[in-house]
Chain A
């Protein structure tokens, strides 16, 4: 192993190499910072690079290792989606509104990973306020997909997916409200894990839709996702929706044994909306699981076709409420020379928010407004209950539900920006898990015309171990996740 190849290592590989003293955390971090400097200008995956802080943290990790007291993730590099508050480092959420915002505290996810020894390399680009499926709504510009720079890396965690796929870092955090970790993972050939709602603290994670948002990770191997989840998950009294459930050592319990695992197939997930070649890749992946002992079974989710419209009422409603805090008074963008207080509010928000965020705020305001609340918001909450009940019944019959993560491979930048509905339908297979609060994961399962596609797995509440184990089993029998875009090898 020469320092020229350090970017090829997964977290798990880097950890054991660091333990053996093959190189130092400082060398690892320097190698990646060099790559970021060289390759990020074309990708635009970072909003902020924290080189000096990273070197200092790596030195501290090396000292702990030298003293024989390494932490769980000591010296392992990670990038945080720019939705997580980082004390002393600006947190923009991809928005002009927060262009200069420096959080006075760390998000729990950031604090826990740092306390486990992880070294933050910077903050990743994202769709503005996590509203988008292509990373094109970012105030800081679109992100390129390392597999084809003309294509989107997905979104909203598009910076995270692009930089992991391009080997600029072995792992990055993400957030997933309707598919924002899993869809970009699928489009970049990476692993994306969205845990159960409440599994990981939302404290310090800028809110989009509070009943749907969940933090997770994008990595290259399932093992790495398991390793990070163990460090991130767990009860946090500062998040009122955090759930007090024990956190197992997910990585240690991975055995890749899927014999007898009941895998549910939902026919609607293979309907006309699915690109045929993507469907073939997903069916082949299901065949791999079957050959390793899993039992494939049809299951019915009768109301799943209503998940996207349900989401596009619930999520904008919650967003319109959450984003009311941006008033141009306490923090964030403020319009110049306001005539009065109302003008200050309206113009600060009008200037600070981009087009898609405005559309969601307006949609949310509309469905919550007098005369429309029952027909839209309350109705959507009822349909949400039906969808959640469908999943509950299905998980009485199967252990995981498997299908495609996204309907197509990566699409070209600009291809879907004119019609919001076309863009929203990217998340047609992932939104159900958010509505029902279930853990979901995307794992690379092949290529279509040179572009990666993903297999999507969903499990019952707090069954992350089952999910990770099924995906790990698949990775043991496949090598899609080791493929690297040519220019990034």
Chain B
């Protein structure tokens, strides 16, 4: 199945990923090749097969609901592009 440019733009928006106009055609071409390639899965008979999400089929482990982390805000925020008073700064979202 081939993807057209509009589909690529739609997926890119879902993924919050800017794809430059001049890259759209090549992206559509390569994604189409990938989708064509994975389309061969359709031929596998899987009607009664339970989907596998974990390679050892292990159950999710639980732990006691207790505080295990200490406050490391400053150290963690030292990687942030813009912070002020312990808050992350982004462009204004409410006028």
Using CB atoms and an 8 Å cutoff, list the residues of chain A in contact with chain B: 101-102, 104, 196-198, 211-212, 237, 240-241, 243, 303, 306, 308-310, 312-313, 320, 324, 327-332, 334, 338-347, 349-351, 353, 355, 358-359, 361-363, 365-367, 369, 375-376, 378-386, 388, 419-421, 424, 434-437, 461
Contact = CB atoms under 8 A, between A and B. Distances in A.
A330 B44 contact: no
Contact of A334 (B23, B44, B81): B81
A358 B19 contact: yes
A287 B49 CA distance: 38
B91 A306 contact: no
29 contacts: A196-B56, A211-B53, A211-B55, A241-B58, A303-B44, A309-B41, A312-B34, A312-B37, A312-B38, A313-B41, A324-B15, A324-B16, A329-B80, A329-B81, A330-B88, A331-B79, A340-B91, A341-B91, A341-B93, A344-B90, A359-B27, A359-B30, A362-B8, A362-B15, A362-B17, A366-B35, A384-B51, A385-B50, A421-B33
B48 to A, nearest CB: 9
A359 B15 CA distance: 11
Contact of B88 (A101, A329, A378, A385): A329
A296 B41 CA distance: 31
A240 B18 CA distance: 33
Contacts of A386: 44, 46, 49
B84 interface: no
A388 B30 CA distance: 29
B17 A361 contact: yes
Interface in B51-65: 51-56, 58, 60-61, 63
Contacts of A308: 37
A338 B51 contact: no
Nearest to B54: A211
Contacts of A101: 79
B51 to A, nearest CB: 4
Nearest to A419: B33
Contacts of A461: 56
Given A331-B79, A366-B11, A366-B31, A379 B19 contact: no
A419 B31 CA distance: 11
B11 A369 contact: yes
Judged by DSSP, the binding face of B is: loop
Given A313-B38, A341-B93, A350-B19, A435 B31 contact: no
Given A342-B16, A359-B30, A104 B76 contact: yes
B52 A384 contact: yes
B42 interface: yes
B14 interface: yes
Contact of B58 (A243, A327, A331): A243
A346 B52 contact: no
Contacts of B39: 309
Judged by DSSP, the binding face of A is: helix
A344 B8 CA distance: 20
Contacts of A434: 55
A194 to B, nearest CB: 12
Nearest to A238: B68
A272 to B, nearest CB: 17
B85 interface: no
A353 B17 contact: yes
What 10 pairs between A and B have smallest CB-CB spacing?
A: A437-B55, A350-B18, A381-B51, A334-B81, A382-B46, A331-B79, A385-B52, A346-B18, A365-B15, A345-B16
B22 interface: no
A106 to B, nearest CB: 13
B82 interface: yes
B72 interface: yes
Contact of A359 (B34, B46, B53, B81): B34
Nearest to A353: B17
A176 to B, nearest CB: 13
Nearest to B3: A366
A211 B46 CA distance: 20
B67 interface: no
Contacts of B50: 382, 385
B66 interface: no
Given A331-B80, A359-B31, A382 B17 contact: no
Contacts of B17: 346, 349-350, 353, 358, 361-362
